[in-house]
């Protein structure tokens, strides 16, 4: 049994540009072992259309699920501490800037010489007059800091999946995310596919039965090790 042609085509394409973000994950998932060939054959049976998009799609999903932002792998307590620390730092910095009249205003200029984001206060009087005449919107840096903080706090509170954080947290998060993705696309989590992928990427030895125990493993995030 051989790898599907679409998979081979994608592998050859990635070998031409090893800087592609997908190359590293493809190097782990596209191989000639019976398990990997079986994984790709299983996905091929469910592909839609004749193009190799289904291969790129699965590789992309694997990259995203295996490289979550660091805060996704922190415990609930650590995430709360991180959230509080960011909010406090942002509040204190904004307050210090405002109280000491050190706050600046971000503007965007699309001119030939000045193109991009700049601080209004760094321009001379003539350029400031031109900016004012153009009614360019100015955004206080302190406001930017607060908005970044609010966004970070919201992401920390809402994005990570619930569940325990143990030695296998990265693998477990991967299992849950890919299972949800497969279920949306195919109506089936494809436990055997996930087991093969997580083992190849994280050097684990899960069986299909481990992936098929959502209450004990994936959904509750418990660590089967």
Structural domain containing residue 100 = 75-158
The tens digit of pLDDT for each residue in 165-208 reads: 778 899 999 999 999 999 999 999 999 999 999 999 999 999 99
Query: How far is it, in rounded angstroms, from Cα 109 to Cα 113?
Result: 9
* Mean pLDDT along residues 94-115: 92
Residue 218 in domain: no
What was the pLDDT predicted at 50?
A: 79
The pLDDT, as a whole number, for residue 217 is 47
Question: In this predicted structure, what is the pLDDT of residue 104?
Answer: 95
Give the pLDDT score at 94: 96
Cα 11 to chain centroid, rounded: 23
pLDDT at 25 (0 to 100): 96
Residues 6+ apart with CB under 8 A from 78: none
Supply the pTM of this predicted model: 0.80
Share of the chain above pLDDT 70, in %: 94
CA distances (Å), origin 225, targets 41, 74, 169, 200:
29, 18, 11, 17
| 81-103: average pLDDT | 97
Convert the pLDDT of each residue in 110-161 to its tens digit.
Answer: 878 888 999 999 999 999 999 999 899 999 999 999 999 999 999 999 998 8
Backbone phi, psi, residue 99, to 5°: -65, -30
Reported as a single tens digit per residue, the pLDDT across 211-225 is: 876 434 444 444 443
What is the helix (H) or strand (E) element at residue 66, kind and residue range?
A: helix 53-66
Instruction: Pick the last residue of a domain from 158, 187, 220.
Output: 158
What DSSP string describes 133-185?
A: HTT---EEHHHHHHHHHHHHHHHHHHSSPPS---TTHHHHHHHHHHHHHHHHH
Task: Answer whether residue 138 is part of any domain.
Answer: yes
In DSSP terms, 118 is beta-bridged to 107
Give yes or no: residues 168 and 114 share one domain: no
What is the structure's pLDDT at 166?
78
- Please count the other Cβ atoms lying within 10 Å of the Cβ belonging to residue 200: 20
Q: In sequence order, which residues have a C-beta less than 8 Å from that of residue 69 and are 6 or more positions away?
A: 159
Count of structural domains within the chain? 2
Q: Are residues 64 and 87 in the same domain?
A: no
Alpha-carbon distance values, 217 to 67, 78, 102, 172, 222 (Å): 20, 22, 52, 8, 5
Task: Give me the pLDDT at residue 105, please.
Answer: 96
- Asked if 65 and 173 count as a contact pair (C-beta separation under 8 A), the reply is yes
- What pLDDT was estimated at residue 224? 40
Answer whether residue 24 is part of any domain.
Answer: yes
Calculate the CA 81 to chain-centre distance: 21
105 - beta bridge partners? 140
Q: What is the pLDDT of residues 23-46, one digit of tens each?
A: 999 999 999 999 999 999 999 999
Distances (CA, A) of 9 to 52, 57, 62: 8, 14, 18
In angstroms, rounded to a whole number, what is the distance separating the alpha carbons of residues 49 and 86? 46
Distance CA 157, CA 72 (A): 10
Q: Does residue 210 register a pLDDT over 60?
A: yes
Question: Is 221 part of a structural domain of the chain?
Answer: no
Q: Residue 93 falls within a domain, yes or no?
A: yes
What average pLDDT does this structure show over 3-20? 94
* One domain for residues 152 and 110: yes
Quick: pLDDT tens for 47-68. Answer: 987 789 999 999 999 999 999 9
Last residue of a domain, one of 158, 181, 201: 158
């Amino acid at each position: 049994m051989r790898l599907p042609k679409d998979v081979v085509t994608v592998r050859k394409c990635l070998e031409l540009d090893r800087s592609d973000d997908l190359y590293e994950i493809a190097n782990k998932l596209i191989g000639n072992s019976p398990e990997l060939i079986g994984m790709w054959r299983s996905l091929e049976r469910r592909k839609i259309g004749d193009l190799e998009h289904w291969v790129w799609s699965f590789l992309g999903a694997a990259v995203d699920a295996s490289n979550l932002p660091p805060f996704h792998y922190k415990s609930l307590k650590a995430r709360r501490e991180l959230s509080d620390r960011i909010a406090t730092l942002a509040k204190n910095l904004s307050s210090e800037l405002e109280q000491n009249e050190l706050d600046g205003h971000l503007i965007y200029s699309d001119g030939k010489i000045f193109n991009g984001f700049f601080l209004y206060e760094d321009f001379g009087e003539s350029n400031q007059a031109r900016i004012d005449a153009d009614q360019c919107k100015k955004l206080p840096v302190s406001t930017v800091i607060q908005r970044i903080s609010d966004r970070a706090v919201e992401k920390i509170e809402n994005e990570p999946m619930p569940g325990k954080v143990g030695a296998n947290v990265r693998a477990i998060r991967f299992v849950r995310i890919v299972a949800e993705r497969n279920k949306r696309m195919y109506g089936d989590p494809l436990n055997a596919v996930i087991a093969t992928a997580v083992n190849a990427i994280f050097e684990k030895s899960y069986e299909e039965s481990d992936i098929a125990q959502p209450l004990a493993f994936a959904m509750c995030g418990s660590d089967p090790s």
